[in-house]
Every structure is written in C-alpha cells, then in structure tokens.
Amino acid sequence: MRAAWGVLFLSLVVNTSSCLAQTVGASLQGTVYDPSGGFVPGAAIEIRNAEQGAVRALITDDKGRYREPLLPPGEYELRVKVAGFQPVVLKGIKLTIGQDAVLDVKLEITGGVERINVSAEAPPIDLASAALSGTVNRSQMNDLPLNGRSFQELALLQPGVNTAVAAGSDAVGGRGKKITIDGARPEQNSFLLDGSDINNVYNKTPGSVAGVLLGVETVQEFQVLTNSYSAEFGRSSGGIINAITRSGTNKLHGNLFEYLRNSALDAKNYFDPATNRIPPFKRNQFGGTLGGPIRQDKTFFFGAFEAIKERLGVTGLTNVLDDNARNSATGAVSSLVQILFPRANGRVLGGGVAEYSFTRSPPMNTSRRAGSMITFPRRTSCLAATPSTTATSTGRSTISRRTSFLRSARAINT
C-alpha cells in the first residue's frame, strides 16, 4: 500500500533595503501639499506596518511626491513630518495585493495641536493602473462555502471567469478544476504563488489527484487579473491568478480545523441501481496553522498543515455476456469466460449482451505542509519620486531577495 503525501512547500523570505516594484506586493504613492495647495519638498515620510511593525522611511522630492513601490499587503500607518507644519498620522490604510494606491496629504501650519490623527483608506479605485482585476481577501476565504477547500475556485466570483466544463478533469491535463478567463483556454492562464509559477505540467490549473489545490489556510489573499495587465506578468495571454501566502505577526495566532462531508444526505444518480444503497462517500479535511514573532518587529514565522482523506464510491456500468452466452461456452473458453467476465446483474440487451453495474471506492489521501519565515530590516529608506536603487552582482536592482523551495509528490492508495 502506498501512502499519499504532499511532501513540502517551504519558503524563506529575506527582505533587503533597496527599492524596486514587484508583483507580489502593493505600492503606495502620493503628494504632500501645504494649506495653499503648494508642494512640500523634503517632508519625512514613514510608512509603518500595523501588524508587523516594519517601517519604511522616505523623503518627498522637489514636487512633494513620495512612492514606496513594494509593501506587503496589510494595514499601514502613514506619518508625515516637516518643519513648520503640524505632524500628520494617517491610520487604517489597507493595501491589497497588486494595488497601486494613491494617497495625498495636506498639511496645516504649526499651531496649538502637536499632531493630527486621521483615519484614512486607500481609494477603492486604482488610479495608477488600467488593469481589470478583482481581489479575494482573507475574510472571503474564511466565510464563503468552499467545496473541497480549493482557493482557486473563488476566482469564479470575478466577472469573466468561468469553469471550462469541456476541459474535463483527468490524468491528461491534470485533476484541478479548469477555468477560462475572458474566453481564453485553460492553458493560457497563469497561476502565481508569491511570484512563482505553479501551473501544472500541462500548463493548466494545479491540483492533486483528489482534484483540489490545498492550502487555503496559508493564502492571505489573491488577485484575479482578467485584462489589460502590465508586462511585468508576461508569459500568458489569458488571465492571471496572483496569490500570496500568509506570514506571522507580532501576535501569536493559530487554529485547528476539520471538515466532514459524507453521503448521509446524498441522492442516487441516474446510474445507481434502484435496489442498491447509495455508494459510500466520506471526506475528512483537517489541519492547523500557527504563526507569530521570533523577534518583535523583525522576524516572524508561519506554518500550516492540511490533509484530505476521501472515500468516494462511484457507480460504473458496462456490458458483459448474458447468462445464455456464458452457458453456451464450452471447454477452455468456458473457463476464460468465468475468469474474465463477471455475471450480469442488469438489463439483457439482446445478442448475448447484458449490463453489469458496480461500485468502486478508490481511497485518496493528499496532504500539504507549508512554512515561511520573513525578516524585515529595522528601517529602510529611499527617495520617493525616483527611488534610489542598489545594484546587485547580476546588474539588476532589487528590493527583496527571495529563496523558495517547492516540491510536491502525490499518490493514490491502492
């Protein structure tokens, strides 16, 4: 007997202190104005992650502009400070994956108030991009019913995304549910996880032998780009499913879960014999997550495990020799007929042929382990409008160095 294991998904993230946009985060930009509407150059900008404490420091340029091209999705505070003006703190700025938010700040002349606190939100409309996209966030993945807990099925909530029914779900093409985006073929879509391509070997929807893409507990959110996305994604002429994994925060958090589905309330399908019981079906999905700080505001960890055990009975229908044909065989042929053909238990079709129905319950076990560690520098800084960058040995500029290891093995018990 062979056990089915999804072996390992391990990601180590180490952020360095240079600046360049990537597709796995969000960006924040804007302009700082004085009370008369003039530009405020040289203003000190601090962007602080509310959950992890990471701080990005910037200075506005001669036209009062600032820009941070790569921020992990989450909630932020924006602090603006410059001599002669009251300091401003904007709280509750929520950024999502792929968002290029624009947030302008208007300062007031120094007076009796030492600091102005304002609750702010990033504009819901992306003013800096023409891409057609939608985002599925963490709360939607938690609250919406999800049969099989395959997070990519929530992409069907977006306009223009549909199931490719004719594509099927078999060993040739992969077991994952095929989707079409704006009419493109399933193999023309691209699935990204933390910026890495995870399409299956047929360049279609990834999935295990059970037909599911486990790991919804490890996904923070994902973006579905359907049209007019920028060349930074490349490679695909269809849509983009751009997902990012969760990371730990300054608070220790975790959960345990189990989901059970069985045949207790199922109805028979067309091919189930009326005199037989409904084919057995039982699915258990279970696992847990744990994340938290290793060093406050500096280093975090997050780990998860999820497994699925399924026993699904399937009714099959085929043609075999009827009793008259079996009894007419003699000698060695009779022995072969008894070995090769089961006795018919359905309708007699004539011509020595009858129907034989049967139920098979192949067990399927799939599991997925995931882990991550993320480290932030104490503070990073760069100029705003035209970010300064640091050249690496490859001659390219980079804001993060990411080391990923992805390996999976799946089998079916026999």
Cα atoms in the 13 Å half-sphere on the side-chain side of 121: 4
- Rounded CA-CA distance 149/145 in Å is 8
Predicted pLDDT at 8: 32
The neighbouring-strand residues paired with 94 are 75
Predicted local confidence at residue 309, as pLDDT = 87
Bridge-partner residues for 316, per DSSP?
358
Closest CA to 371 of 218, 151, 191: 218
Which of 44, 106, 52, 101 lies closest to 75 in space, CA to CA? 52
Residue-wise DSSP of 315-365: EEEEEEE-HHHHHH--HHHHHHHHHHSPPP-S-EEETTEEEEEEEE--EEE
Instruction: Give burial (CB, 10 Å; 0-12/13-18/19+) of 51.
Output: middle
Q: Which residues of the chain have pLDDT under 70?
A: 1-23, 112-124, 168-173, 362-414
Task: Please write down the long-range contacts of 35-38, taking CB distance under 8 Å and 24 or more positions apart.
Answer: 35/106, 35/107, 35/108, 35/109
DSSP 38-68: -B-TT-EEEEEETTT--EEEEE--TTSEEEE
Dihedral (CA of 328, 334, 340, 342) sign: positive
Give the number of C-alpha atoms closer than 13 A to the C-alpha of residue 164, restricted to the C-beta side. 21
Whole-Å CA distances, 125 to 69, 101, 131, 154 = 18, 8, 11, 21
| pLDDT at 255 (0 to 100) | 93
Residue 374 DSSP SS3: strand
Dmax of the chain from CA atoms? 110
pTM beyond cutoff 0.85: no
**Nearest-5° angle of CA 68, CA 120, CA 115?**
90
The confidence score (pLDDT) of residue 176 equals 78
Is 278 in contact with 359 (CB distance < 8 Å)? no
Q: How many CB atoms lie within 10 A of CB 264?
A: 9
Of 258, 377, 349, the closest CA to residue 308 belongs to: 258
Whole-number pLDDT of residue 39: 95
Q: What tokens appear for 318 in the block?
A: 């085929």
For every residue of 201-214, DSSP letters joined together read TTSS----TTS---
Domains of the chain as residue ranges with CATH: 22-119 (2.60.40.1120), 130-246 (2.170.130.10), 314-360 (no CATH)
* Residues sharing a CB contact under 8 Å with residue 326, sequence separation 6 or more, in sequence order: 334, 337, 338, 341, 343
The reported pLDDT for the residue numbered 164 is 86
Which residues, in sequence order, are bridge partners of residue 285?
Answer: 259, 308
What residue has token string 């067990």? 363
CB contact at 8 A, 19 and 69: yes
What pLDDT shows up at residue 252? 94
Q: What is the pLDDT of residue 171?
A: 63
